[in-house]
Structure 1
Amino acid sequence: MIAILEPFSDNSHMNMFKSMLAMDYATSNNNGKIWLFWTNDISCKVLEVDEQQVTCELSHVEAPSTYINTFVYAKCKEYLRRPLWDRLLHFADNINTTPWCTVGDFNVITDIDEKLGGIPYNMRKSLEFIRVIEACGLMDLGFNGPKFTWSNQRDINFRIWKRLDRAMVNDRWLQDMPHTSITHLPSVGSDHCPLLMEMSARTEDHIKYFKFLNFWADQPSFLTTVTDCWSRHIDGNPMWVFHQKLKRVASTLSTWSKTQFGDVYATVRDYEDRVKSAEESLIHDNTEENRTALHEIDAEYIKFMKYEDSILRQKSQLQWFREGDGNTKYFHALIRGRRRKLFIHKILNDKDEWIQGDEHIAEAACMHFQNIFTGEDKHIDEVPMNCIPRIVTQEQNDSLKAIPTIEELKEVVFSMNPNSAAGPDGMNGCFFQKCWSIIKHDLLAVIQAFFNGQMMPKYFSHACLVLLPKVKNPNKLSEYRPISVWV
């Protein structure tokens, strides 16, 4: 599908361009500023058209699910763009369950870094656009290629660059099509860069790993559950014992969570419907029994909303989040956006060639690191090392090699951020702090075994993380005290 903005030609020439582009269908908006072309592979139903946007319901023959695209060509004047913002807000309120993407020339930027040259930009011109983006729950898809999409094409002393063109999607789009990418192509014969949107389908065969949820630690039965599981005896060296106990606790907590809470998101939706039903019953029959039932359902509803709030806060990893700041649409979009950044859409190899496709990307990455870590056998002359003065005294060396104590280990554990991202085992700082009294002796045994030179068994997939507590004078090596914590 191809969208052309401001074609500098009237609609009478649209069919000629349709043939030149080898397209099967074509349409335009009211003033002929937006032309759309598409082939038989795409089913397109135009939902709404005005002077600044064309909104279509699309589906592909290879992917029968539908999605909505709004192609935008915004007015240059700020007050003339307001009807467009109103339509975007209308779409956001009415298509929450459908993937939605709005793409095109918005004629406004969202950050001062999106402009280069000219007089300093006044961000007040962008506040209305930014508010619309947040109210619609839209996430910018980002881009590959040049940073700016428009230039005024003037002499070098008067040239201005801006990023006026972008693609933004709602949470449902990120959920269904997280592999969407935008590339800024070279601008040839135009003052704008063309945008190339690629929507690649990938099979989701990843394993869903365990992840500790912080709100578990506030439940009355949590510590008892962990204690009963952890106290069961396991034979082996300290590292193996600790590793196996963590695996067992993870499995136990997963089962315990399913029994205690089930699917928190589904439960919240269920209680929302039950509250509405109970309120209707109370309106029709104002009895003490119905009032009591409504209060009980309200209490359970609030409890599970707090659980959902805690999960969203942990997933979004926002340190500034405060009670009452919850916005489900915003946080879901933020979480999906963070997850989307983990996908590798294309990679630049050593020959400055862009590689696409999972298999080709994996092959290029393997070759790159093989070249880095493959070296020639060469004799290293250690004689020049004798010229380097020794600055570490024996006393400092003994301090560095000293076996950590339980007090030092506790200081390190409780200096961890409880909301930090979990390690490969799924346990974060909150687990270690809340369960300190239960796991401290096994954890200390692991640290001391490591400092005593015991190697990690080959079946371990974890790693020892060496944490250095804050020091007053980082230039004094004697004030550094390495402590290893198993995560």
Structure 2
Amino acid sequence: MVNKYKVDMVAISEPMVNKNKVEGYKRYLGFNQCLVNSNGQIWCFWRNNCTVDNIQIHDQLVTFKFQQNGSNHDYYVTIVYAKCTAAKRMDLWHNLEDLDNSITSPWLGSDHRPMLLKCFNDNSVGIKYFKFLDFWIDQDDFKTLVAKEWQVEVDGNPMWRLQQKLKNLGRRLSKWSIEEIGDVNENADEWEAKMEFLEEMDLIDNSKTSREELNKGHAEYVYWLNKQESILKQKSHIRWFEEGERNTKYFHAVIIERRRKLEISRIMNNKGNWISGEDKIANKPVRYFEKLFNLRESNVDPQILDCIPECITDDNNNYMMSCSEEEEIKDVVFNMSTDSAAGPDRYSRIFYYCCWDIITREVVEFVQFFFIKGKLTKFFSTLFWFLSLK
């Protein structure tokens, strides 16, 4: 349940485990905080993205106030481990009555019954754009999925067909990644916590079984770390001429610094004065280009171009304007750096290398259509394919 629903808080009644092991289970489950009642029959775990205030800790119940960070709403939760006889449960009922008289916010409780609670509004959904992740090509079923999706026929000219096939494939890959792979960063953090727990268990048990579990856990941890490293490499846009030691802090720093450099905090106007503030910065370039592109038409004598010597012959021009053949297009694609940033279609160069045998026809027809018509849709950029074709 913890992994499937990514819960922020879990309470366990009668865990049937010595309470001294609660810290190990906290790390194993991937939580940051925990508490145990006096007789060890109620365990509670929660993450740092929520606030938990203890209201009452008793041998038959634990009550706390729960609030997610960024939320203004409080929730009271009571976890019950009741005694077996009515006489021994009298203290429990008195405590519950006192709580009922004092709590005015939403309050819920459970006695052994499994319960899953969602206590936030998920109506706001931001736009999340597709981006091809390079580690996808290492998945066993990746090329099978691409080939199957690529076989779906799309009507229209070659430019439209490639555009729609890339869009359809992007939606399918995003869904496949969520369902089959999951959140890489969360899985890496989860296995890091599990490794700490397995290492502790191996030190305690020191058996063949514990060592096997530790080795299996280590392999799984490295598996997710490699995926996480691939994403960080891709985001940092660093060219890796040599594979070095893993250093995720370095890549995070590079990403943050790159974003900082791209941020515009102020601009200078034509009078030499600095302008700050998002609205003023956004409006200034708009007014500038509106003025620039609305100038009066000027009369230019076309003979002024006669003084420029002709450097391009008709043969050169005809060659530049001719359609490229498949091998020429393939050479350009395969000579592009795998470390360069993705194009406007959000696919990295590795995708085209890996899937060239699947997508060849659509890409070649797209390029040839461009040379015939000389136009591109907004989905594509001229820089994407054509700078080095000739």
Normalised TM-score (structure 1): 0.52
Residue 3 of structure 2 corresponds to none
Residue 367 of structure 2 corresponds to 447
Which aligned pairs between 1:311-330 and structure 2 lie closer than 5 A? 311-320=231-240, 322-330=242-250
Is the partner of 2:262 in helix, strand or coil?
coil
Letter in 2 for 1:361: I
Which residue of 375, 381, 390 corresponds with 2:295? Answer: 375
Which residue of 228, 231, 253 corresponds with 1:308? Answer: 228
Which residue of 324, 347, 351 corresponds with 2:271? Answer: 351
| Structure 1 residue 468 displacement after superposition | 4.3
Is the partner of 1:341 in helix, strand or coil?
helix
| Structure 1 residue 262 displacement after superposition | 1.2
| Structure 1 residue 229 displacement after superposition | 1.0
Letter in 1 for 2:381: A
Which residue of 315, 340, 343 corresponds with 2:260? Answer: 340
Q: Percent identity?
A: 39
Letter in 1 for 2:356: W
1:296 aligns with 2:227: no
How large is the Cα RMSD of the aligned pairs? 2.4
| Structure 1 residue 298 displacement after superposition | 0.9
Letter in 1 for 2:264: I
Letter in 2 for 1:461: F
Residue 282 of structure 2 corresponds to 362
CA contact under 8 A between 2:237 and 2:339: conserved in structure 1?
Answer: yes
Deviations 1:80-138 (A, max 9, x none): xxxxxxxxxxxxxxxxx9xxxxxxxxxxxxxxxxxxxxxxxxxxxxxxxxxxxxxxxxx
Letter in 1 for 2:163: H
Distance in 2 of aligned mates of 1:217 and 1:249: 14
| Structure 1 residue 236 displacement after superposition | 0.8
Residue 402 of structure 1 corresponds to 322
Normalised TM-score (structure 2): 0.64
Which aligned pairs between 1:118-197 and structure 2 lie closer than 5 A? none
Which residue of 354, 373, 379 corresponds with 1:461? Answer: 379
Runs of 4+ aligned residues of structure 1 deviating over 4 Å after TM superposition are none
| Structure 1 residue 312 displacement after superposition | 1.2
CA contact under 8 A between 2:135 and 2:230: conserved in structure 1?
Answer: yes
Residue 228 of structure 1 corresponds to 148
Residue 81 of structure 2 corresponds to none
Which of 1 and 2 has greater Rg? 2
Deviations 1:56-102 (A, max 9, x none): xxxxxxxxxxxxxxxxxxxxxxxxxxxxxxxxxxxxxxxxx9xxxxx
Distance in 1 of aligned mates of 2:193 and 2:144: 34
Residues 354 and 261 of structure 1: is their aligned pair in 2 closer, same or farther, counting only changes over 3 Å? same
| Structure 1 residue 208 displacement after superposition | 3.2
CA contact under 8 A between 2:238 and 2:339: conserved in structure 1?
Answer: no
Letter in 1 for 2:173: L
Which aligned pairs between 1:387-426 and structure 2 lie closer than 5 A? 387-426=307-346
Residues 280 and 391 of structure 1: is their aligned pair in 2 closer, same or farther, counting only changes over 3 Å? closer
| Worse-superposed segment, 285-294 or 428-437 | 285-294
| Structure 1 residue 464 displacement after superposition | 2.6
CA contact under 8 A between 2:150 and 2:165: conserved in structure 1?
Answer: yes
| Structure 1 residue 413 displacement after superposition | 0.2
Letter in 1 for 2:193: D
| Structure 1 residue 356 displacement after superposition | 1.3
Distance in 1 of aligned mates of 2:367 and 2:386: 12
Which residue of 164, 174, 177 corresponds with 1:244? Answer: 164
Letter in 1 for 2:382: C
| Greater strand content | 1
Residues 394 and 310 of structure 1: is their aligned pair in 2 closer, same or farther, counting only changes over 3 Å? same
1:270 aligns with 2:190: yes
| Structure 1 residue 394 displacement after superposition | 2.4
| Structure 1 residue 345 displacement after superposition | 1.0
| Structure 1 residue 272 displacement after superposition | 0.9
Which residue of 246, 252, 261 corresponds with 2:181? Answer: 261
Residues 388 and 354 of structure 1: is their aligned pair in 2 closer, same or farther, counting only changes over 3 Å? closer
CA contact under 8 A between 1:350 and 1:368: conserved in structure 2?
Answer: no
Distance in 1 of aligned mates of 2:302 and 2:200: 85
| Structure 1 residue 454 displacement after superposition | 5.7
Residue 190 of structure 1 corresponds to none
1:434 aligns with 2:357: no
Is the partner of 1:397 in helix, strand or coil?
helix
Q: Which runs of 5+ in 1 are unaligned?
A: 1-96, 98-203, 470-480, 483-487
Q: Which runs of 5+ in 2 are unaligned?
A: 1-47, 49-123
